[in-house]
Amino acid sequence: MNNEKLKELADLMFPGITKTVEDYEKMYPERNLPEEARVTRFAPSPTGFVHMGSLLSAFEDYKAARDTNGIFYLRIEDTDGKRSIENGITGILNDLKNFDIVPMEGMIDEENSTGEYGPYIQSERQEIYHAFAKELVLRGLAYPCFCTAAELDEIREIQELNKERIGYYGSFAKCRSLSIDEAIDKIKAGAEFTVRLKSQGDFNKKIILHDEARGDIEFPENDLDIVLIKSTDKLPTYHFAHLVDDHLMRTTHVMRGEEWIASFPIHAELFKVFNFKLPKYVHLGIVMKIDETGTRRKLSKRKDKEASVEFYHKEGIPSYAVKLYLMTIANSNFEEWLDNNPSADLEEFKFDFKKISTSGSLFDVEKLLNISKNYLSRLTASEIYDNLLIWTKEFDNEFYEVLLNNKDYALQVFNIERGGVKPRKDYTSYKSIRNFVFYMFDDLFENPNYEFTKITDKKEIEIILNTYLDNYMDLSDKDTWFNKIKEMCDSLGYASNMKEYKKNPELFKGSVADVSGVLRIALTSLANTPDLYLIMTILGKEKIKERFEKCMNSL
RNA sequence: GGCCUGUUGGUGAAGUGGUUAACACAUAGCCCUCUCAAGGCUACAUUCAUGGGUUCAAGUCCCAUACAGGUCACCA
């Protein structure tokens, strides 16, 4: 009799739902994968972009699956309208692709997906959730709740006042004790309702849950009658969707932010109620920053520009460098591995849950720049050229035109001190390159600001430049080039040998360093540049002469 | 307030009862050198949030406290 009543209630709550949990179990059987293969997922809301924290977790999910020839899939969690934007999935897919993270299954654009475990977008899984919820109602393990927001507030206020645990549980769960008939009547009368779990847990009992990175964690059992299905849109809450989706999609490893640790007991109860195998969980540390007031806090996508992936794109930091950096955060032994295997593919590194940092780490832009610098130093001139062309096209049109029209010349410039075991390391980003090479291009060298420091006397500068042009310019090879400069130093009263100069500086007007400095500044406007000889050979004699004259005219 | 997580140098961290407490970034100095960038060398935690305890031995185990973070939504 009770069963009949429950059936009436369930049918009333979920009209038109005919499939059962068992039906879905058959539709989505266990995956045919080797034992060790991990199935992971990235499950964002369709907000149009991913930020650093979620990029990190997507990357970790991807690696965890890849390492075991498992499956990494993309599921879209759009049960909260506020978090969804137009074309939000495309934006996420693009951001991921930028970092070579391509899901093997799941959503591939705004509407379509691949894989046998779909739909991969929660708004299209409505009847599946309802079937699961309906079964719970039939088993007397879920019930309709008619409490309004105001009533819920009231309950919480009472609890706060009495210093009791906050939440919808036990005797505070008013609708839990409603009779089936009462519930049926209310629904028939058109009352709005949520569906709540009738928790079987006991807060005074302990359960131990295992986290792959943190080990065992002890909690009180869950006794909260949490909402399973929301009233207005009839969509599931995160908790319920997590159960249904991750079970049916046969996820083996759930990797998520540590803000979810607290709801671990809820999820454990949900899986237990259905007698489903609990997936393995990894709760990741949160990426933090230090803000203006000196306090540590979670990197926020609203407040912090460095939280968005777009920021690095704009700054011209290669996505591969960002990836390397994220990897150093993700697994603490990665840097050492990279040192030992500098040319190995990232794919060869095996991700280890035990090495995941569990304390929130500060996002260190300095370190990122260092990684970026090292990465850029290993690229070939033509790789630099190609990538820089793409970057400047979007962010620096003037430079873009110059590069486009002087490809061969630009390649020579980018090749300065590149290659070999000790490549030059000065570019930190694509954006920074212009500042290191502008003087090599006339179009970018229109109004130089000459930084003479050591030798500043106009007459002396003119003497040095003219003497060089008239008698000592020889670019045939580096040694003769430098010997000529030394000769000139001797003839003009400057020390040609730095060691001697350092011993007795008073014997000379200055040193070869000062003289070279004048040549360098006249040529490039800068006191610090890469190898002068290389710069001169690339510019050529005519241009050198032109530059010196331009400089002398400006004095 | 309840529950949970975390706390090793300026930063990221290694560390699972016995080490001079790795390594990397940053910083400083020296060397190399025509100037830079690199590179090489050196320095940088008498001490692992604090206080107790267990032990021959504790960053590592136990207990308290402090601080930081999370969570207690019909948000994820």
Indicate whether A326 pLDDT > 70: yes
pLDDT digits (tens, 9 = 90+) for A253-286: 999 988 899 999 999 999 999 999 999 999 888 7
pLDDT score at A338: 82
Model confidence at A290: pLDDT above 70: no
Nearest in space to A362 (alpha carbons), one of A423, A308, A295, A425: A295
The chain-wide mean pLDDT, for chain A, equals 89
> Which positions on chain B have an atom < 7 Å from some protein CB?
1-8, 10-16, 22-26, 33-39, 68-76
Q: Model confidence over A92-147: pLDDT tens digits?
A: 999 899 888 999 999 998 888 899 997 999 999 999 999 999 999 999 999 999 99
- A336 is near strand B: CB distance < 7 Å: yes
Strands across the sheet containing A194-197: A142-145, A194-197, A227-229
**How many CB atoms within 10 Å of residue A76?**
24
| CA–CA gap between residue A261 and residue A283 (Å, rounded) | 7
Q: What is the pLDDT of residues A9-28, one digit of tens each?
A: 999 999 988 999 999 999 99
Quick one: pLDDT at residue A98? 87
Distance A355 CA to B14 C1' (A): 10
Q: Is the CB of A424 under 7 A from strand B?
A: yes
Q: Residues 126-165 of chain A: which lie with beta carbon within 7 Å of strand B?
A: 147-149, 152, 156, 163, 165
Per residue in A428-468, pLDDT tens? 999 999 999 999 999 999 888 887 888 888 888 999 999 99
* pLDDT-derived band at A384, boundaries 50, 70, 90: very high
pLDDT of the residue at A380:
93
For residue A332, the model assigns a pLDDT of 79
According to the model, what pLDDT value does residue A301 have? 64
Domains of chain A: 2-123 (3.40.50), 126-238+261-273 (3.90.800.10), 379-444 (no CATH), 458-554 (1.10.10.350)
Distance A237 CA to B65 C1' (A): 38
ipTM: 0.85
d(CA A352, CA A350): 6
Residue A374 has pLDDT above 70, yes or no: yes
A198: pLDDT confidence band, cut at 50, 70 and 90?
very high
As beta bridge partners, residue A255 has A282
Q: Are A70 and A41 in contact (CB under 8 A)?
A: no
Task: State the pTM of this model.
Answer: 0.85
A 35-64, residues with C-beta < 7 Å of strand B: 43, 45
Is there contact between A262 and strand B, defined as CB under 7 Å from any strand atom? yes
pLDDT digits (tens, 9 = 90+) for A478-489: 889 999 999 999
